[in-house]
């Protein structure tokens, strides 16, 4: 059965361009289009598509408001189209918060140049997300209370809400934690692997060793994620205490403008400190460094207590790459690493996990049931590299209940 798609955009050019790109794929069927949020809601209820491509800025009702209504009245997987600007990043993360699963950049030049790379990226995202079993589920991010303002609580400017962000504090200090409500799984971002990974073992293969504890001599936690990662990371990191005993490296497939906004968002919500990594940043307990989009993050091989940020190599699909950060952690800390691989398309992280396994590191993978897209964790599991296969709800408590020895 082809994936049924509803296209929503106020631009006639983009509606036709998206339709042309998708119609050439036998796995996809375009079942309708809409010019604004209100039409999108009506068409979603009438056509019951597997996936909706949703523009952000539209007349009558914008994309974010339309996503909120659709997720409340007829939950459907939604792929946002967004500009690669700071404002676009903020709005896109609000859309993910409202219930969208993922996004794709809306760069007019790329869309007009008939890019084969863009065409493949769009088609692969549509098929993967349209077939996702999370299609009829609500957002992983907590939806706003009906009594709350429709404005994003995450991106409210300081001048408008001076209490939203606590005063600067030591890494180990406590800062107020934003309310965190239970949530299922949702979206986020970047290019899918060009080809599906070939399983190295049956899907049901058991974990390699069964180590549901952090290594006794752990020195570093490294977490890799892609589609569905922003919400999964939010769920895990908001459960950690400010005095979490290890430094954390985060590698999420995102472009540059998005990682800075996402890091600031997490820093507001978490007790630990979260920042977009800069060259020379030190590894510190209770601090998470997020790899900047378009770059690679490794551990300084000379000192092992700092990160190095390097330009992204155009020959590499992922910038940042989980494989590269995992490999660097394996070289610098060996068995003293806890590596976590979360939801995402493709197989990034599997090669790096092999290097970690050779050094005796501990590897935890997210399970299929709680993954938005079971690609990256599946590659690690199928290769027999996972010590534990865990539900998303298990990571936070396991990490937060641990105390350094």
- Do 230 and 115 fall into the same domain? no
pLDDT value of residue 107? 72
Q: What is the structure's pLDDT at 190?
A: 37
Please say if the pLDDT value at position 359 is more than 80. Answer: yes
Q: Quick check: is 260 in a domain?
A: yes
Identify the band that residue 200 occupies on the pLDDT scale cut at 50, 70 and 90.
very low
What DSSP assignment string belongs to 97-166?
HHT--EEEE--HHHHHTT-HHHHHHHHHHHHHHHH-TTTTS--SSPPPPTTS-SS-SSS--TTT-TTSSP
Q: Choose one of 67, 101, 131: the last residue of a domain.
A: 131
Integer Rg of the chain from CA = 20
Same domain, 243 and 375: yes
Domain annotation covers residue 228: yes
Per-residue confidence (pLDDT) for residue 83, from 0 to 100: 76
DSSP state of 288: E
Residues 57 and 86: beta-carbon distance below 8 Å: no
pLDDT exceeds cutoff 50 at 162: no
The share of the chain scoring above pLDDT 70, in percent, equals 79
Last residue of a domain, one of 100, 131, 162: 131
The candidate with the shortest Cα–Cα distance to 91, out of 295, 225, 265, is 265
pLDDT band at 70 (very low <50, low <70, confident <90, very high): very high
- 290-303 pLDDT, tens digit per residue, is 999 999 999 999 99
The yes-or-no verdict on residue 178 having pLDDT over 60 is no
Among 83, 106, 131, the domain boundary falls at 131
Most confident of 51-65, 304-318, 386-400: 386-400
The CATH number assigned to the domain holding 104 equals 3.40.50.2300
Write the DSSP string, 323-363. HHHHHHHHHHHGGGEEEEE-SBSS-TTHHHHHHHHHTT-EE
Tell me the average pLDDT across 373-400: 96
Give the pLDDT confidence of 89-143 residue by residue, as tens digits. Answer: 888 888 888 889 998 888 767 677 766 778 888 999 999 999 986 544 444 444 3
Q: What angle do CA 108, 114, 119 make, to 5 degrees?
A: 95
Are 230 and 375 in a shared domain?
Answer: yes
Residue 79, in any domain of the structure: yes
| CB 7, CB 19: distance < 8 Å | yes
Domain match, 389 and 266 both: yes
Cα separation, 37 vs 107, whole angstroms: 21
Angle between the N-to-C axes of helices 63-73 and 37-47, in degrees from 0 to 180, rounded to the nearest 10:
30
Task: Determine which of 38-42, 73-77, 85-89, 157-161 has the lowest per-residue pLDDT on average.
Answer: 157-161
The answer to whether 205 and 268 are in contact (CB under 8 A) is no
- The CATH number of residue 237's host domain is 3.40.50.180
Q: Which of 197-206, 241-250, 306-315 has the lowest mean pLDDT?
A: 197-206
Residues 380 and 274 in one domain: yes
Q: Examine residue 189 and state whether it is found in any structural domain, yes or no.
A: no
Catalytic residue among 55, 281, 348, 387: 348
Tallying the residues shown for the chain, one arrives at 405
Position 108 scores a pLDDT of: 67
Band of pLDDT at residue 315, cut at 50, 70 and 90: confident
Residue 245, classified by CB atoms within 10 Å of its CB into exposed (0-12), middle (13-18) or buried (19+), is middle
Q: Average the pLDDT over 183-198 and give the result.
A: 37
Instruction: Give the model's pLDDT for residue 134.
Output: 59
- 88 lies in some domain: yes
**Structure tokens that stand for 118 in this block:** 């863009």
Domain containing residue 317: 220-400
Residue of 134, 190, 253, 295 with catalytic role: 253
* One domain, residues 235 and 360: yes
In a shared domain, residues 269 and 383:
yes
**272 and 377 part of one domain:** yes
Which member of 226, 273, 321, 325 is catalytic? 226
Q: Is residue 354 part of a domain?
A: yes
For residue 207, pLDDT over 90 is answered with no
Catalytic residue at 253?
A: yes
- Segment 238-267 shows an average pLDDT of 95
Can 348 be counted among the known catalytic residues? yes
Judge whether 301 lies within some domain.
yes
Total count of domains within the chain: 2
pTM: 0.79
| Residue 344 and residue 236 share a domain | yes
Q: How far is CA 368 from the centre of its chain?
A: 16
- Both 115 and 231 in one domain: the answer is no
Asked whether residue 147 is assigned to any structural domain, the reply reads: no
As a whole number of angstroms, the distance between CA 327 and CA 356 comes to 7
Inform me whether the pLDDT recorded for 188 exceeds 70. Answer: no
* Confidence band, pLDDT 50/70/90 cuts, at residue 56: confident
Same domain, 244 and 98: no
Question: Residues 107, 236: one domain?
Answer: no
Average pLDDT value over all residues in the chain: 82
Hey, what long-range contacts does 303-307 have (CB within 8 A, 24 or more apart)? 304/332, 304/333, 306/280, 306/281, 306/282, 307/249, 307/277, 307/279, 307/280, 307/281, 307/283
Which residue matches tokens 């790379």? 117
């Amino acid at each position: 059965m082809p994936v049924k798609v509803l296209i929503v955009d106020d631009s006639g050019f983009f509606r036709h361009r998206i339709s042309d790109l998708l119609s050439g794929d036998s796995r996809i069927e375009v079942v309708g289009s809409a010019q604004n949020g209100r039409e999108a809601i009506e068409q979603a209820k009438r056509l019951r598509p597997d996936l909706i491509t949703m523009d952000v800025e539209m007349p009558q009702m914008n994309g974010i408001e339309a996503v909120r209504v659709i997720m409340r009245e007829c939950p459907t997987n939604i792929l946002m189209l967004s500009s690669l600007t700071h404002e676009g990043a903020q709005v896109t993360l609000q859309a993910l918060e409202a219930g969208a699963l993922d996004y794709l950049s809306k760069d007019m030049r790329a869309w007009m140049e008939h890019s084969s790379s863009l065409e493949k990226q769009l088609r692969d995202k549509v098929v993967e997300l349209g077939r996702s079993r999370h299609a009829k589920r609500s957002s992983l991010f907590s939806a706003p209370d009906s009594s709350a303002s429709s404005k994003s609580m995450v991106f409210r400017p300081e001048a408008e809400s001076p209490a939203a962000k606590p005063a600067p504090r030591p890494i180990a200090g406590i800062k107020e934690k934003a309310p965190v409500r239970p949530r299922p799984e949702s979206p986020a971002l970047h290019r899918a692997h060009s080809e599906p990974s070939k399983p190295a073992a049956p899907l049901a293969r058991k974990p390699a060793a069964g180590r549901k504890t952090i290594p006794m001599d752990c020195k570093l936690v490294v977490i890799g994620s892609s589609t569905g990662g922003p919400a999964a990371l939010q769920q895990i990191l908001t459960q950690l205490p400010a005095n979490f005993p290890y430094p954390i490296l985060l590698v999420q497939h995102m472009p540059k403008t998005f990682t800075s906004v996402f890091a600031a968002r997490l820093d507001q919500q978490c007790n630990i400190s979260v920042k977009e990594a800069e060259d020379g940043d030190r590894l510190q307990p209770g601090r998470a460094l997020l790899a900047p989009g378009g770059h690679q993050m490794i551990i300084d091989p000379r000192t092992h207590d700092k990160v190095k940020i390097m330009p992204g190599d155009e020959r590499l699909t992922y910038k940042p790459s989980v494989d590269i950060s995992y490999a660097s952690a394996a070289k610098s800390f060996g068995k003293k690493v806890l590596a976590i691989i979360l939801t995402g398309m493709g197989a990034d992280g599997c090669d790096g996990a092999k290097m970690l396994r050779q050094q005796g590191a501990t590897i935890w993978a997210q399970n299929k049931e709680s993954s938005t897209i079971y690609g990256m964790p599946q590659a690690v599991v199928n290769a027999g590299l996972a010590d534990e296969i865990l539900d998303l709800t298990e990571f936070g408590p396991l990490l937060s209940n641990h105390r350094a020895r």
